[in-house]
Structure 1
Amino acid sequence: MQHIVSGYRGLSLLVNLNWDRILYLVTILVALLAGGFIGSL
């Protein structure tokens, strides 16, 4: 149980430090999916 808690703390620290990069990647993925959808119409 201790390993799970420490792993969760480490993961949340990484997310807190890099949330803007994660948002940037998600935005690019959404734009690519939207472009593919519009292109297939």
Structure 2
Amino acid sequence: MHTLQTGYRGLGLLVMINLDRVLSVLAIAGALYLGAFLGSL
């Protein structure tokens, strides 16, 4: 049980560290999509 809790905490820390990278990639992709949509009007 202790191993599962430690592993879960480690996974949560890894997600929190990389969350800003994922959000920045999504923001850039959304901006590019919006720009392409507005440019096609």
TM > 0.5 fold call: yes
Class of the TM-score when normalised by the shorter of the 2 chains = 0.5 to 0.7
Q: Structure 2 stretches of 5 or more lacking a match?
A: none
Q: TM-score, normalised by structure 1?
A: 0.62
Q: Structure 1 stretches of 5 or more lacking a match?
A: none
Taking every aligned residue pair, what percent have the same amino acid on both sides? 50
Correspondence for 1:14: 14
Aligned length: 34
Q: TM-score, normalised by structure 2?
A: 0.62
